[in-house]
Homo-oligomer: A and B are copies of this chain.
Amino acid sequence: MKSAPRAQDVADLAMVSQSAVSRTFTPGASVSEETRRKVLAAAQKLGYRPNALARSLITRRSHIVALVMSYLENQFYPLVIEKLSQKLQSEGYHVLMFIAEIDEAADGVLAEILQYQADGVVMASARLSRTLAGSCADLGIPVVQFNRISDIGGLARHATSSVTSDNYAGGRMAAELLVARGYRRIGFLAGLEDSSTSRERERGFNDALAQAGMTVARREVGQYNFDLARAATRRLFAPGSDLDALFAANDHMAIAALDVMRHELALDVPNDVGLIGFDDVPQAAWGGYRLTTVRQEVEPMVDATVALLSEQMHGVLRARDVVVPCLLVERDTIRHA
């Protein structure tokens, strides 16, 4: 196994200068058809591929986007990885994965992102450090927060962009639907207390309930975690509870709740109790659940993320917050009209 051919090798074989080789592989450079042909032929013969690292060193663009996530337990995120990778690939970028379990790791992650000279950063997952995004932004690296809101009033000098769905409106939809279907004692299962998604969904939910002259009957916290959501559900429906509906801050917890409601508590969903989730993960549509939920449209969200990243990587420094509409998906965990 000999080492990979360099531009100079191709140049030698094609009897042109090394510069000519470089131009041939630089879209929009001025090369004659003649030269380009010779270079391409030689490159083909040698199996030459430009070294992206060397190129990045000089162009100062790595074409790498760092995707920072934490646990992938919530099935919404694999979808995001897939769509985002694809979309970015089609634009000539690639996704470098960073799994940051805890806030502690944030500094280390930042260091690595910087070392790899990522052109941009996408921060997904609610569990991540608030400061990491700001640090990147301060260093002039385009950051978009996916499915979470920029830190309002934080210390960051440069704002970060964000893409979220309309969580507030989604929360309202859930409340309105539940009320319309005659549910009256409605509980809320919160995600992470300090996540913008959970807070906004709850705010919309509460506001819509208030508008109907109601308030949340009971509230527990599941921290977007399956087991904690199960435990929270048990508390929610503990003996003496008269809840007749539940809105969970995401599908992952809604599914955990449904398992407990049906299989432990022997509740009849949707007749005894109604349930609405948030996200519309693929599993929500499965026959075992058929969960009524508020859908977050992954594809528009990913498109917006890539668009935001692009404009910032190409010099538009102004940060923007994009809000994508949600969509109610009615299945079988609430009574039909």
- Assuming the A-B contacts A97-B94, A98-B89, are A115 and B75 also in contact, with contact meaning beta carbons closer than 8 angstroms in the complex? no
When A53-B62, A288-B289 are in contact, do A99 and B89 touch as well, CB less than 8 Å? yes
Given contact pairs A78-B81, A288-B289, A99 touches B116 in the complex (Cβ within 8 A): no
Q: Which residue of B lies closest to A115 (CB)?
A: B52
Q: Are A51 and B4 in contact (CB under 8 A)?
A: no
Q: Quick check: is A320 within 8 A (CB to CB) of the other chain?
A: no
Q: Is the CB of B57 within 8 A of A54?
A: yes
Q: How far is the CB of A149 from chain B (nearest CB, A)?
A: 24
A29 proximal to B (CB < 8 A): no
Q: Does A283 contact B (CB under 8 A)?
A: yes
Residues of B within 8 A of A111 (CB): 49
Considering only residues 250-281 of chain A, those with a C-beta below 8 Å from chain B are: 255, 258-260, 262-263
Q: Does A131 contact B (CB under 8 A)?
A: no
- For residue A193, CB closer than 8 A to chain B, the reply is no
User: Would you call A282 an interface residue if the criterion is a C-beta within 8 Å of the partner chain's C-beta atoms?
Assistant: yes
* B97 x A116 contact (CB < 8 A): no
User: With contacts A78-B72, A96-B95, A258-B287 known, is A50 near B115, CB below 8 A?
Assistant: yes
CA distance A101 to B87 in the complex (A): 12
Instruction: Mark contacts of A54-82 with chain B using CB atoms, 8 A cut-off: 1 yes-contact digit, 0 otherwise.
Output: 10110000101001000111010111011
Q: Which residues of B contact A57 (CB under 8 A)?
A: 51, 53-54, 57
With CB as the reference atom, state the residue of chain B lying closest to A116: B52
Cα distance, A95 to B94, chains bound together (Å): 10
Quick check: is A195 within 8 A (CB to CB) of the other chain?
no
Residues of B within 8 A of A85 (CB): 97-99
A1 at the interface (CB under 8 A from B): yes
- A112 with B98: in contact, given A53-B53, A72-B78, A286-B259 (CB under 8 Å)? no
Q: A97-B95, A98-B94 are in contact. Are A117 and B51 (CB under 8 A)?
A: yes
A225 contacts the other chain (Cβ, under 8 Å)? no
A81/B62 in contact, CB under 8 A: no
Closest Cβ of chain B to A40, distance in Å, is: 14
**A117–B72 contact, CB under 8 A?**
no
Q: CB-nearest residue of chain B relative to A289?
A: B288
Inside 8 A of A255's CB, which chain B residues have their CB? 286, 288
Closest chain-B Cβ to A211's Cβ sits at a distance in Å of 34
> Any chain B CB within 8 A of the CB of A196?
no
Within 8 A of B (CB), among A151-209: 158
A24 CB, min distance to chain B CBs, angstroms: 15
A73-B282, A95-B96 known; 16 new pairs, CB 8 Å cut-off, are A1-B139, A4-B139, A49-B111, A49-B114, A52-B117, A53-B56, A54-B57, A72-B79, A72-B82, A75-B75, A78-B78, A82-B99, A85-B97, A86-B99, A89-B99, A283-B286
Which 6 residue pairs of A and B lie closest in terms of their CB atoms, listed nearest first? A288-B288, A259-B287, A1-B140, A78-B78, A52-B115, A263-B287
Q: List 18 A-B contacts (CB under 8 A).
A: A4-B114, A47-B139, A52-B115, A52-B116, A53-B117, A71-B82, A72-B82, A73-B282, A78-B81, A85-B97, A94-B97, A96-B96, A255-B286, A255-B288, A258-B288, A260-B287, A262-B288, A263-B287
